[in-house]
Amino acid sequence: MSAAITLDPRDRGGPAQPLLSVDGLKKYFPVRGGLLNRQVATVQAVDDVSFSVRKGETLGIVGESGCGKSTTARLLMRLMDPDAGSIVFDGDPVGERAGITVNEMRRQMQMVFQDSYTSLNPRMTMAESIAYAPRMHGTPRKEAFDRADTLLAQVGLNPRQYARRYPHELSGGQRQRVNIARALALEPRLVILDEAVAALDKSVEAQVLNLLGDLKSRFNLTYLFISHDLNVVEYMSDRVMVMYLGRVVETGPVEQIYRRPRHPYTRALFASKPTLDPDRRTTEMPLTGDPPNPINPPSGCRFRTRCAFAKDVCAQSAPPLAAPLDGEVADGPPHLVACHLPEAQAAMGANTHA
Amino acid sequence: MLVFALRRLLQAIPILLGVSLVVFGLVHLAPGNPIDMLMPPEASPEIVAQMKAAYGFDKPLYVQYLLWLMRALHGDFGLSVFNATPVWGQLVTALENTFILAILGAALGFALGIVTGLIAALYHGRWPDKLASAIATAGVSLPHYWCAIVLVLACAVLHDWLPAQGMGDDSLPIWQRLDFLVLPVVTLSLIPMGVIGRLVRATVLDILGQDFVGALSAKGLTRWPVLRHIIKNAAPPVLALMGLQFGYLLGGSILVETVFNWPGSGNLLNLAIFRRDIPVLQATILVLATFFVLLNLLVDIAQAAIDPRIRR
Amino acid sequence: MSDATIDTAQRVLPAADAPAAPAPGYWKSVGQRLLRDPVTIIVTLMLIGILFITLGAPLVTNADPYAGSVLARLKPIGTPGHWLGTDETGRDLWTRLCYGGRLSLLAAILPVTISLVVGGFLGILAGYSGGWVNTIIMRTMDVFYAFPSILLAVAICGMLGNGLTNSILALGVVFIPPMVRVAETVTTQSRSLDFVEAARASGTTTLQIIRHHVLANVLGPILVYATSLISVSIILSAGLSFLGLGVTPPEPEWGLMLNSLRQAIYVQPYVAALPGVMIFVTSMCFNLMSDGLRSAMDVRLNK
Ligand SMILES: Nc1ncnc2c1ncn2[C@@H]1O[C@H](COP(=O)(O)OP(=O)(O)OP(=O)(O)O)[C@@H](O)[C@H]1O
Ligand SMILES: [Mg+2]
């Protein structure tokens, strides 16, 4: 599934070295209140998240609303500073003396935001928005605007028609294409797509997804694809990472996770997924209740309060990400799951194909 | 709710401290020592030194500040440099007079403002709206000291309807003394009328524009549930502005009081400035600003009581 | 939330392959909307007229604003040679009103300009840096906010001593805190806008972001606010002079003229009220202009 890797002059470690690897990322937001407006609690938005992204692959991140997907993306872009954890980009630690600076990283890593309208400056034309970042990095005006025209064409918008329009004069799908073009203007290697198609109509969504696929192979891109739409993630991703309340609960190749999810949360998530395929109908109980408050997450395994299999051990310690306990080993990238209980992992509702 | 009220109260303390610091610091904007300015140039150095010691102007600044603050907290603002009577007594009398004007002016202004604002909103776009909006805008841009002069002109100079200034003798019967109130109160009511009128119009239009009320015709407004809905949503911002406006009437009546020669706090302040009567000046500003802060506090709490969303 | 934006976006959506319409810039469309608003046009013309008779005073009157005549004291409106009458020392009132506008406008506009620059800077700084910088700046402003504006102006002016410079300084100080608040609110809002984040994510420096993305957002509201402040400032600065705290005699200035003519109210009631008319009309014009600007700049109202 992973795209063939042609050599990029900026490639440093070769195809085997992950493009991005994240270790122990943490972000706690203070919650203020009380009489003196002091910090009374913390939201553990991202708690000890580690993963890596290989060159040329698409890593999908899924999870319920509020589980910390966007926070992770913003931490990666350094739009906010992490409380702990390290980010290594193609072998270079980011923001450390031995590695590359945040700005150097940002030239190689870009992000597309969910809301196509608010992520464009309403007072700039499409061409101005796209040319903006290169110009700020010193590209001459003429060259930057020529490049903007080329990019517009590459995302399927006629530059003669759209270059001089303002955001409110475009449709949501067209604007999102412009946002993608803008992200590509700095010629990044990794693009983070945070719910990039979530606000679009289904038909437009499909077009944009296809465009993303084309661009990926054309520019040798690596994607971090964040979405709560399981079908879209399945369509786009090579590997999937499932998050719950700021932690990673399961990760692995897309076929394995979709065919045989091990974590009870992943299974419940999939059970609530709308599907037309009768083979995929499940007997698993869908998720009930709201996710627990991230301000006071449960001890140990965070899913235990909604888990049908929860035992004492689940309250005592947080399960580490590890190979599934049933011993089944597949080729390729490892399938890892954070669950103490073999019986919970093995519980086969019916996510198997008939 | 209680926590919110207490927290706002706590937040007011540093502001009040800052206010006291500013008031105290203001005095030192002026070049020279207040006593030097007050004493005749031929006064002997010993006498000047004595006076300084008597008023505490010889100590280091921060000591002066702390002493002044401690005394002020007990309502002791010392003696007027001008006539050596206790500042507190003068201030209380002046404040009473100012309060009478401010309360009546506010009541009249708010009532007129709400009425004009409602009329403007109900007849949105038609002539009553235009007229009411014009009145409101004029009210906001009126220099009220000029207004005072025009009113005196109309009611006391050209016609002999009402007294031009002062607050009347104690010996006069009460209904005659009320005459003295009319012009200042009307003058003071104009600005709150304009400001409140504009806000009421905007807020009510906003609420009427929301879908769930929009379906109802202007007639529907008289029905209680609709009216209640409007009041509930319009009250917090209007209330906040009312509090602010009342504060401005209290602290900003100096110009109007000067025109009408009304013996209120504004007049006292004006006199203190021209007499360079530092203790009176400090006390007046401090007390007026404190009122203003406390008023805002009350408004905040009242707002939160009406609309729980405001509590954080 | 995003539904709403999509909704509006779809309403203004051009037909799929419509020929490219030249997109008017934001400020251009604001200008077009202003030109369609009769009140704003009238008010602007009136302000230009006021500017003309004040700055071009020698063109509209031959008299000397300082030279009076004992014989010509307090003439009524319509006196030959003094069509607006004369003041208590016999100076031509029309001439005094024309020349008086210079100081009145200066004393009103300069404080607003000071507060615009200082307050705008502090507000953007507080809004963009957040954290303790914000706390220090905003809490300090809260303290000054705790004084009713006239009280603070009178107090500062009273302590600094009277004079034009001091009254300008005093009003400048009075107007800074509200200006900081407006600028801070808008900056804080724009800081977390997605497109500002996107600019940050592409490695744009803070100064560039403020210049290209934040300032354009902050400028509109600040300018509208400043125009409405001028309206207040005209009343306040004339008020300070009226109290004897601002401009000193014999300079012509509307507030001061109003004060000195006040004694003459029983002799020439209408003449005595004239300087106030100027203050009122000018203040009202600025007020209406700010209203016009505000609605022209409100993107929600168009289309
Ligand atoms: N700036 C912030 N300050 C305080 N709390 C925050 C902040 N940003 C996010 N949070 C909290 O962190 C948690 C994770 O938020 P995040 O936006 O990362 O979720 P998400 O997975 O992207 O959700 P969604 O699918 O709704 O976008 C939430 O509980 C949120 O309330
Ligand atoms: Mg999100």
Stronger pLDDT, C12 or A165, i.e. the higher one? A165
For residue C82, give both structure tokens: 């003094």
- What does the pLDDT read at residue A224? 95
Q: Which residues contact A287 (CB under 8 A, 6 or more apart)?
A: A64, A265, A268, A269, A271, A272, A306
| A221 and A270 together in one domain | no
Q: With 60 as the cut, is the pLDDT of residue B134 above it?
A: yes
Residue A5 corresponds to which amino acid? I
Q: How many CA atoms lie within 13 A of B305 on its CB side?
A: 11
Which of C91, C105, C117 has the alpha carbon at shortest distance from C260? C91
Please indicate, yes or no, whether residues A214 and A291 belong to a single structural domain of this protein.
no
Which tens digit of pLDDT belongs to each residue from A220-247?
Answer: 999 999 998 888 999 999 999 999 999 9
Among B143, B273, B292, select the one facing C276 at the smallest CB separation: B143
Give this complex's ipTM: 0.82
C245-248 — which CB contacts under 8 Å span 24+ positions?
A: C245/B273, C245/C154, C245/C157, C245/C158, C245/C162, C245/C166, C245/C167, C246/C107, C246/C157, C246/C162, C246/C163, C246/C164, C246/C166, C246/C167, C247/C103, C247/C107, C247/C163, C247/C164, C247/C167, C248/C162, C248/C163, C248/C164
Work out the average pLDDT over B152-176. Answer: 72
Give the mean pLDDT of C110-115. Answer: 94
Region A172-186: mean pLDDT is 92
Residues B8-21: what's their mean pLDDT? 87
Are A115 and C193 an interchain contact pair (Cβ–Cβ within 8 Å)?
no
Q: CB distance from B274 to chain C under 8 Å? A: yes
Residue C6 has pLDDT above 50, yes or no: no
- The reply to whether residue A136 touches residue C208, judged by beta carbons under 8 angstroms, is yes
| Per-residue model confidence (pLDDT) at position A212 | 93
- Closest-CA residue of C relative to B153 is C269
Q: Which ligand is nearest to the CA of C1?
A: 1
* Ordered DSSP codes for B43-110: S-HHHHHHHHHHHTTTS-HHHHHHHHHHHHHTT---B-TTT-SBHHHHHHHHHHHHHHHHHHHHHHHH
Paired tokens of C240: 């300070």
**A41: β partners:** A31
Q: How confident is the model at residue A2 (pLDDT cuts 50, 70, 90)?
A: very low
Secondary structure E strands in chain A: 20-33, 38-53, 58-62, 84-89, 92-93, 109-112, 190-194, 222-226, 239-244, 247-253, 336-337
Of the residues A31, A40, A69, A194, which should be mutated to test ligand 1's pocket, given the most ligand atoms within 8 Å of the CB?
A: A69
Check whether B216 has a pLDDT greater than 60.
Answer: no
Q: What is the pTM of this model?
A: 0.78
Instruction: Count how many pairs of residues, chain A against chain C, have C-beta atoms within 8 Å.
Output: 100
Question: Could you give the CA distance from residue C178 to residue C248 in angstroms, rounded to a whole number?
Answer: 28
DSSP C162: S
> Order of strands across the sheet with A38-53?
A38-53, A20-33, A84-89, A92-93
Say whether both A315 and A217 belong to one domain.
Answer: no
Which ligand 1 atom sits closest to the C-alpha of A195?
27
Question: What is the per-residue DSSP string for A338-352?
Answer: --S-HHHHH--SS-S
B125's tokens: 């776009």
The per-residue pLDDT for range C155-206, each reduced to its tens digit, is 888 888 878 888 999 999 999 998 998 898 888 888 878 888 889 888 888 8
Structure tokens at C259: 């004060």
Phi and psi at residue A253, in whole multiples of 5°? Answer: -60, 145
In a shared domain, residues A233 and A299: no
Distance CA B203, CA B217 (A): 17
Give the closest residue (by CA) to ligand 1 atom 9.
A71
Token pair of A293, please?
């408050």
Q: Is residue A197 part of a domain?
A: yes
Q: Chain B to chain C, count of Cβ pairs less than 8 Å apart?
A: 136
pLDDT of residue A1: 46
Report CA-CA distances (Å) from C49 to B252, C18, C255.
Answer: 31, 45, 20
Residues in the ligand 1 pocket, defined by CB under 6 Å: A 29, 43, 45, 63, 65-71, 228, 294
DSSP label at residue A7: P
Q: Which atom of ligand 1 is nearest to the CA of A31?
A: 4
Domains of chain B: 2-73 (no CATH), 94-311 (1.10.3720.10)
Cβ distance A179 to A152 under 8 Å?
Answer: no
Q: Which of A113-117, A317-321, B24-28 has the lowest mean pLDDT?
A: B24-28
Is C150's CB within 8 Å of B141's CB?
A: no
Whether the pLDDT of residue A205 is over 80: the answer is yes
- For the CA of A243, the closest atom of ligand 1 is 21
State the first-to-last Cα distance of chain B, in angstroms, to the nearest integer: 10
In which region does residue A14 sit, left (phi positive, over 0), alpha (psi from -120 to 50) or beta (all else)?
Answer: left
The CATH code of the domain that includes A49 is 3.40.50.300
User: C192 CA to middle of ligand 1, Å?
Assistant: 14
CB within 8 Å: A36 and B6: no
The verdict on residue A249 lying in a domain is: no
Indicate which ligand has the atom closest to the C-alpha of A31.
Answer: 1
Interface test with C, best of A32, A169, A197, A228 (most C CBs within 10 A): A169
* Partners of chain A (3+ Cβ pairs below 8 A): B, C
Residue C302 has pLDDT above 50, yes or no: no
pLDDT tops 80 at residue C82: no
DSSP of C254-292: HHHHHHHHHGGGGT-HHHHHHHHHHHHHHHHHHHHHHHH
Q: What is the Cα–Cα distance from B248 to C150, expressed in whole angstroms? A: 8
Residue A306 maps to a domain: yes
Nearest one of C50, C111, C154 to B145, comparing CA atoms:
C154
Closest-CA residue, ligand 1 atom 2, reads A29
CB contact under 8 Å between A37 and B6, yes or no, is no
The verdict on a CB contact (< 8 Å) between A133 and C20 is: no
Q: Is residue A302 part of a domain?
A: yes
- Asked which of A119-133, B168-182, C15-29 is least confident by mean pLDDT, the reply is C15-29
Domain residue spans of chain C: 3-302
Q: Look at B10 and A34 and tell me if their CB atoms are within 8 Å.
A: no
Report whether pLDDT(B59) > 80.
no
- As a whole number, the mean pLDDT across chain A is 84
| Residues A159, A139 contacting (CB under 8 angstroms) | no
Please provide the CATH number assigned to the domain covering C3-302: 1.10.3720.10
Residues A94 and A203 grouped into a single domain? yes
A88 with A140, same domain: the answer is: yes
Q: Which of B7, B11, B13 to mutate to test the interface with A (most CBs of A within 10 A)?
A: B7
A116 and A163, same domain (yes or no):
yes
The four Cα atoms B161, B162, B163, B169 give a dihedral, to 10 degrees, of: 110
Closest B-chain CA to C228: B141
Q: Which has more pLDDT, C71 or B221?
A: C71
Q: Tell me the pLDDT band of A289, cut-offs 50, 70 and 90.
A: low
- Domain of A154 in residue numbering reads as 20-237
Does residue B7 belong to the interface with chain A, where contact is any CB pair within 8 Å? yes
- Residues in A closer than 8 angstroms to C203, CB to CB, are 102-103, 106-107, 133, 136-137, 186
Give the model confidence (pLDDT) of C13-70 as tens digits: 222 222 223 334 667 777 787 888 888 889 889 999 998 988 887 887 777 777 777 7
Total structural domains within chain A: 2
Q: How far is C193 from chain B (nearest CA, A)?
A: 23
